[in-house]
Amino acid sequence: MADRFRITCGQMNPTVGDIAGNAAKAKHAWDIGRDAGADMVALPEMFIAGYNAQDLVMKPAFHNAAMQAVDDLAAACADGPTLAIGGPYAEDGQLFNAYFICKGGRVVTRVLKHNLPNETVFDEVRIFDSGPLGGPYSVGNARVGSPICEDAWHPEVSETLEETGAEFLLVPNGSPYYREKFDTRLNHMVARVVETGLPLIYLNMVGGQDDQVFDGGSFGLNPGGNLAFKWPVFDEVVSHVDLERGADGWRIVPGEIVTDPDAWEQDYRVMVTSLRDYMAKTGFKKVLLGMSGGIDSALVATIAADALGPDNVRCVMLPSEYTSDHSLEDAKACANALGCRYDFVPISGPRAAVTETLAPVFEGTEPGLTEENIQSRLRGLLLMAMSNKFGEMLLTTGNKSEVAVGYATIYGDMSGGYNPIKDLYKTRVFETCRWRNVNHRDWMMGPEGEVIPDRIITKPPSAELREDQKDSDSLPDYPDLDALLEILVDHNGSIADCVAAGFDRAVAQKVEKLVYISEYKRFQSAPGARLTKGAFWLDRRYPIVNRWRDPT
């Protein structure tokens, strides 16, 4: 009869800084594994601390508390399966990203991460020291190798483990979502399996942390790169992976292979999850937002209703004399379709008071952008007042196209604590609204059916800060703008690249200038869900003062 080995894996959602809560989750997974006769219970990378903890993990009081929590867990899990859990480890003035192997009441092995990612949202080179290339550790009748996340993206760690006796690979990860990332992960892991000839279990965490969402999707590969199992994305899963050893070594016993949803659904799930977890992990329970009758606020209201439930969402219409009748109708219709509270707070009175107050100072000047922005800033003031009064977090509603070129008013419509659509270009906003109107999933707390009225989707976008205003008065049409921004922002391309793609040089230069001069706005903007590798914040870090312009 073949040897068997069972690993209970926790595709779980830790909270950065909640060491006690993360330890309790780990113990819960261990209890499940113990009751199922597991040989080993495994949690993801840096699980005890939460991930990505950034500079918090360098604080001695923090990483010492995390290390003590691992020791306490080891003691609590003395009688049963081996526990493997990620966390920080400090020794002799160095700090490592470690994977702790706990057995018999103590930590028996520490695997130290060797390859430290230093791109996109990761800055581990300045936080951690690089560990040495190490060998496998023994658990029962097996020798296990654990390349930690980035270590499995490079061949030398896995090859060293295979050469020193590892019989299969267990890869703990804190790998956040970006569009189509699963294919990238799979390709790298297949390469490790082909190079080493070893089975591989890829264990990822789930849940939101600031702008990032860890999307799970844990999977196993047998030699040859054949998929043995695949877990769902975004959901917490504690389940068992069985291996059998035959003449050719260990093989993962095949299990269910869950198919991933399409990119539209995954993006939407990320925006819902990011808001839901941001609220839960910061302690907020309710949100409010300015409901303009436009498409961006309609989508944000829908995401909020799906994340928190309609009873926890307040939609506020703050009309001026430039607000059209159809915007009034559409805003109320969308709020009602979602089942959210709808408040009507006109700004005509406050705007008149501000205009009168400033009249002596502005005497002799012509009305223009300043007066338009007063409307936006009044709305921001009133929404923040309601946020303070009712303890509801204000959501801001600017899409990536607007955020990129600064088509938003700082201290006005940019006011807020979180922006679910910050990394969603305007053209994708339209398509996402259409997608949500015809799709509903059990993880959505909002109602089924058409919740965003068709007129909101089809009418020309407008800020409605002056008569007959349209976004196209100030910006290229959104399909062109978004295509230019994908070149300049997402792909870090040049003006020459824009021209080669068929765009007018002067238009491309105008867009580039708008991107650069609005950096100061983004520096002060709310965080938002990361959907791409070109998201504004940690993915793209540009100076505020910047006189350079692409001469090509």
Q: Which two tokens stand for residue 399?
A: 């899409």
What whole-number distance in Å separates Cα of residue 277 and Cα of residue 9? 22
Nearest to 212 by CA among 544, 450, 528: 528
CB atoms within 10 A of CB 508: 25
What whole-number distance in Å separates Cα of residue 210 and Cα of residue 53? 10
8 A C-beta contact, residue 123 and residue 54: yes
Residue with tokens 């922005």: 373
What whole-number distance in Å separates Cα of residue 99 and Cα of residue 42? 10
From residue 378, give the alpha-carbon distance in Å to each of 207, 373, 518: 35, 8, 21
Q: Which two tokens stand for residue 77?
A: 């899990």
What whole-number distance in Å separates Cα of residue 475 and Cα of residue 422? 18
Residues 6+ apart with CB under 8 A from 79: none
Helices 478-485 and 426-438 meet at what angle, rounded to 10?
Answer: 110
Residue with tokens 């839960």: 280
Measure CA 516 to chain center.
24
The catalytic site residues sit at 45, 113, 149
What whole-number distance in Å separates Cα of residue 89 and Cα of residue 146? 16
Nearest to 275 by CA among 96, 417, 79, 110: 417
Beta bridge partners, 240, equal 8
8 A C-beta contact, residue 339 and residue 309: no
Q: Which two tokens stand for residue 343?
A: 């408040």
Q: Which two tokens stand for residue 458?
A: 């089809």
Amino acid at 174: G
Cα dihedral 319→321→324→329 (10° resolution): 40
DSSP assignment of 177-244: --TTHHHHHHHHHHHHHHHH---EEEEE-EEEETTEEEEB--EEEETTTEEEEEPPBSS-EEEEEEEE
Rg of the chain, C-alpha, whole Å: 26
Q: What is the DSSP letter of 50?
A: -
Residue with tokens 């008149």: 352
Query: Exposed, middle or buried by CB within 10 Å (0-12, 13-18, 19+), for 368?
Result: exposed
Strands 168-173 and 200-204: parallel
Residue 246: φ, ψ to 5°: -120, -155
What whole-number distance in Å separates Cα of residue 309 and Cα of residue 446? 6
